Amino acid sequence: MFELLGIAPQVLLGQLLLGLINGSFYAVLSLGLAVIFGLLNIINFAHGALYMAGAFVAWMLLNYLGIGYWPALILAPLIVGAFGIVLERTMLSRLYHLDHLYGLLLTFGLALIIQGLFRNYYGISGLPYRIPDLLSGGHNLGFMFLPNYRAWVVVASVLVCFGTWFMIEKTRLGAYLRAATENPTLVGAFGVNVPLMIMLTYGFGVALAGFAGVLAAPIYSVNPTMGEQLIIVVFAVVVIGGMGSIMGAILTGYMLGIIEGLTRVFYPEGSAVVIFVIMAIVLMIKPEGLFGRPA
Amino acid sequence: MIRKLAISSAALAVMTGAPALAQDIAVKLGVLNDRSGIYADLSGEGSVVAARMAVEDFKAADKGMNVEIISADHQNKPDIGSNIARQWYDVDGVNAILDVPTSSVALAVADITTEKNGVLIDSGAGSTSLTREQCRPTTIHWTYDTAALATGTGAAMTMAGGKKWFFLTADYAFGHSLEENTARVVKDNGGEVVGQVNVPFPAQDFSSFLLQAQGSGADVIGLANAGGDTVNAIKQASEFGITQAGQKLAALLFFVTDVHALGAQTAQGLSLTEAFYWDQNDDTRAWSKRFMDTHGAQPTMVQAGVYSGTMAYLAAVEAVGSADDGKAVAAKMKEMEFNDPLFGKVTVRGDGRAIHDMYLFEVKSPDQSEGEWDLYNQISSITGEEAFLPMLDECDFTKK
């Protein structure tokens, strides 16, 4: 059959699928960032730390309370989201009238503190978290062995991403949210509780990070630095997609996962930087991002 | 100034007859390692605990030795490590620096130690350069090096039938040197290397690379990386059914804390080489229990090596009668023979390489494992002469 640059089509298909799986994490995380930035104008640097916290909360639920993976998939994002709401009420809400930079610095500091606390109490080696029994094992697709859990990651992330997109772009609640970002005073005058809505939005964005953390827990080691490594890539994804663009963040997440996966076959040494190279090119050609509106 | 003081006090010690002065030997030890980063669990505070236990077990106080221990975090950065080492030698009067994981930091500290006439007893770093290309008269490399790990795991697995190897190599100096060392051992034992891939460091997702390794048809996938990278690679190899399909994984630098992090379920069947395991015999069990009571985790070979190296250093200081002349203490260590409960018989070669047995372990399956730390079966032991590279003539400081 055909061979592309010396790579057998089976291998290529396998790598495309793996790229899609990694892209799922990028998509869920960059979606949360895009929602928060789009509606609150906060560059949430604590996102990686909260993703890590989601994985840790799942681990704690299992080891301290005996609560398994499926309930944790709901509970951990709720707990992380509630924590996010506390952060928003006590700290972030004081910064809305200031420049973006202040929010960035505050959340960056928070990220370091959260990460430091987990490192202090749980060490650096990481903690084991098993794949739930229902999803252990896998299927041989002919071109590769696909673990059931990875397939679930793709399904779960697609559902969550498009559910969120639908809610924000197509429902009445979403319309209020978008209106509140355009003109909070006017929306408030119509009797909508704008501060409450913003608080819940931040909680929701952060809960998405917690959700991604629970999804990641059985695959990667539950480790205080797991978010730190991912967050920079995810920011690049958001910049490429266009800051604040919901659909842009989702599509770019999946797309870049696939591009990164292909780089791992053709030039593995470059796979850590390929996303940043793309970011640089996009910023030069279309500074507002692939899906962003010109400012 | 310090150097002059050191020389004059050493001279004084010689003039007045060293052993008679044993009543007031002051020794200051500095444990320099990673206390917050990726190596914090395998060295970190545990190494300080181990050094304290050595001082206790050596009965230093009864022998009239006043030993003080200080510690600091080098954050795995050579510049930070160098600054601390300089300050310790110049201002704080430290006589010996212990542990120092991360080869780049260890090599920088080795140079400063020679300049300031201290002693470096390195337990945590892996680079063979410490006793080869960059050997120094005051460097003692105690616990392991990449060559010993390669010999242990590489030779054993090749001889056991794993003839075809594929390497996942962390794309920096350490990873490449580990791959190179292991590939040499594999070829010497009649094996071949069918492929390798350079993985950017650090990496979270290894699935692409693992599938490439799977497609290569290799018998063994050699993981030339460390810490969290190795943990993730092993976890994902199990997830993608690679180990179940019959390919073996060889972790070329892996510690008991890493295996603990993975759990026996995922890590079972993995081969690895270490200098020490807590459950080897009554002595190691008794010592490790004391360690566990203080530190809350079982000791790694690096922490055990800090204990063993500190015991040896104190014995040499006692024999010399002073800790002030690092070169003299290091030379004394190379004349003596040590025997401690953890490493057994240890000698130190002219190049500073400590020679002791290494062991090949296999990780137990969950039904064999009787507790969260019951992790290894010992497969074989490798003598120090076999495990470590032969000495380079120009590094034999006993001849100079």
> In B, which residues are within 8 Å of A271 by CB distance?
200, 208
Q: Is B3 helix (H, G, I), strand (E, B) or coil?
A: helix
Q: What is the average per-residue pLDDT within B237-249? A: 87
**What is the model's pLDDT at position B245?**
85
Sign of the Cα torsion B179, B181, B184, B185 reads negative
Q: Is the pLDDT of residue B19 over 50?
A: no
Residue with tokens 């994902």: B236
Residue with tokens 């080891």: A63
**CA nearest to A200, candidates A110, A81, A94:** A81
Asked whether A61 and A67 are in contact (CB, 8 A), the reply is: yes
**What is the model's pLDDT at position A294?**
67
The kind and range of the H/E element at B29 are: strand B25-33
What's the farthest any 2 CA atoms get from each other in chain A? 66
Give the other-Cβ count within 10 Å of A27's Cβ.
30
Q: Judge: A138–B240 Cβ closer than 8 Å, yes or no.
A: yes
Please name the residue ranges forming H helices in chain B. 2-16, 44-57, 78-90, 103-115, 146-149, 156-159, 173-188, 207-215, 227-239, 256-262, 264-267, 282-295, 301-320, 326-335, 384-387
Give the whole-angstrom CA distance, residue A196 versus residue A179: 14
Which structure tokens are listed for B190?
A: 């009649």
Q: Judge: B203–A138 Cβ closer than 8 Å, yes or no.
A: no
Give the whole-angstrom CA distance, residue B335 versus residue B312: 11
B162 pLDDT tier (thresholds 50, 70, 90)? very high
Give the whole-angstrom CA distance, residue B203 versus residue A271: 10
Query: Which residues, including other chains, have CB under 8 Å from residue B52's CB and lie 6 or more apart?
Result: B69
Q: What is the average per-residue pLDDT within B47-51? A: 97
Percentage of chain B surpassing pLDDT 90? 71
A2 pLDDT tier (thresholds 50, 70, 90)? very low
**What is the model's pLDDT at position B21?**
46
Percentage of chain A surpassing pLDDT 70? 97
Q: Judge: A265–B262 Cβ closer than 8 Å, yes or no.
A: no
Give the whole-angstrom CA distance, residue A130 versus residue B164: 31
Q: Judge: A11–B40 Cβ closer than 8 Å, yes or no.
A: no
Which structure tokens are listed for A94?
A: 């004081």
Tally C-beta pairs within 8 A across A and B: 99
Which structure tokens are listed for B153?
A: 């795991």
Summarised one tens digit per residue, pLDDT across range A205-241 is 999 999 999 999 998 879 898 998 889 999 999 999 9
| Helix pair A172-182, A194-216: axis angle to 10 deg | 110
Exposed/middle/buried for residue A135 (C-beta within 10 Å: 0-12, 13-18, 19+):
middle
Q: Judge: B40–A147 Cβ closer than 8 Å, yes or no.
A: no
Looking at CA atoms only, how far is residue B175 from chain A in angstroms? 13
Whether A126 contacts chain B with CB within 8 A: yes
**What is the model's pLDDT at position A5?**
57
Looking at CA atoms only, how far is residue B37 from chain A in angstroms? 7
Summarised one tens digit per residue, pLDDT across range B67-96 is 999 999 998 889 999 999 999 999 999 999
CA atoms within 13 A on the CB side of A263: 18
Q: Judge: B231–A126 Cβ closer than 8 Å, yes or no.
A: yes
Lowest mean pLDDT among A219-223, B2-6, B212-216: B2-6
Asked whether A182 and A174 are in contact (CB, 8 A), the reply is: no
Give me the interface pTM, i.e. the ipTM.
0.83
Give which of B34, B73, B171, B205 to mutate to test A binding, by max A Cβ within 10 Å: B205
Q: Is the pLDDT of residue A23 over 50?
A: yes
Summarised one tens digit per residue, pLDDT across range A109-120 is 999 999 999 988
Q: What is the average per-residue pLDDT within B175-185? A: 91
The kind and range of the H/E element at B220 are: strand B220-224
Whether A124 contacts chain B with CB within 8 A: yes
Whether B82 contacts chain A with CB within 8 A: no
**CA nearest to B204, candidates A113, A193, A232:** A232
Q: Is the pLDDT of residue B20 over 50?
A: no
Q: Is B191 helix (H, G, I), strand (E, B) or coil?
A: coil
Q: What is the average per-residue pLDDT within B195-213? A: 90
Summarised one tens digit per residue, pLDDT across range B346-358 is 999 999 999 999 9
B274 pLDDT tier (thresholds 50, 70, 90)? very high
Q: Judge: A125–B258 Cβ closer than 8 Å, yes or no.
A: yes
Q: What is the average per-residue pLDDT within B43-67? A: 95
CA atoms within 13 A on the CB side of B305: 32
Which structure tokens are listed for A247?
A: 């659909």
Summarised one tens digit per residue, pLDDT across range B103-120 is 899 999 999 999 999 999
Q: A138-140 and A145-147 as β-strands: parallel, antiparallel, unpaired?
A: antiparallel
Q: Is the pLDDT of residue B282 over 70?
A: yes
Asked whether B364 and B267 are in contact (CB, 8 A), the reply is: no
Residue of A nearest to B204 (CA): A220
Asked whether A179 and A172 are in contact (CB, 8 A), the reply is: no
Q: Judge: B240–A130 Cβ closer than 8 Å, yes or no.
A: no
Looking at CA atoms only, how far is residue A262 from chain B in angstroms? 9
Q: What is the average per-residue pLDDT within B155-166? A: 92
Give the whole-angstrom CA distance, residue B131 versus residue B136: 7
**What is the model's pLDDT at position B8?**
52
Q: State the average pLDDT for chain B.
A: 90
Whether B41 contacts chain A with CB within 8 A: yes
Whether B90 contacts chain A with CB within 8 A: no
Q: State the average pLDDT for chain A.
A: 90
HEC string for chain A: CCCECCECHHHHHHHHHHHHHHHHHHHHHHHHHHHHHHHHCCCCCCHHHHHHHHHHHHHHHHHHHCCCHHHHHHHHHHHHHHHHHHHHHHCHHHHCCCCHHHHHHHHHHHHHHHHHHHHHHHCCCCECCCCCHHHCCEEECCCCEEEHHHHHHHHHHHHHHHHHHHHHHHCHHHHHHHHHHHCHHHHHHCCCCHHHHHHHHHHHHHHHHHHHHHHHCCCCCECCCHHHHHHHHHHHHHHHHCCCCHHHHHHHHHHHHHHHHHHHHHCHHHCCCHHHHHHHHHHHHCCCCCCCCCC
**What is the model's pLDDT at position B285?**
96
Q: Is B343 helix (H, G, I), strand (E, B) or coil?
A: coil
Whether A267 contacts chain B with CB within 8 A: no
Q: What is the average per-residue pLDDT within B243-262? A: 89
Q: Judge: A147–B208 Cβ closer than 8 Å, yes or no.
A: no
**CA nearest to A208, candidates A190, A228, A234, A186:** A234
**What is the model's pLDDT at position A141?**
85
Give the whole-angstrom CA distance, residue B240 versus residue B218: 16
pTM over 0.95: no
> In A, which residues are within 8 Å of B263 by CB distance?
128, 130
Whether B341 contacts chain A with CB within 8 A: no
Query: Which residues, including other chains, have CB under 8 Å from residue A68's CB and lie 6 or more apart?
Result: A62, A132
Residue of A nearest to B196 (CA): A268
Give the whole-angstrom CA distance, residue A209 versus residue A38: 16
Looking at CA atoms only, how far is residue A253 from chain B in angstroms? 16
**What is the model's pLDDT at position A229?**
80
Nearest to B207 among A18, A124, A223 (CB): A18
Which structure tokens are listed for A223?
A: 């480790």
Q: Judge: B261–A130 Cβ closer than 8 Å, yes or no.
A: no
Residue with tokens 């190691």: B284
Give which of A63, A119, A121, A221 to mutate to test B binding, by max B Cβ within 10 Å: A221
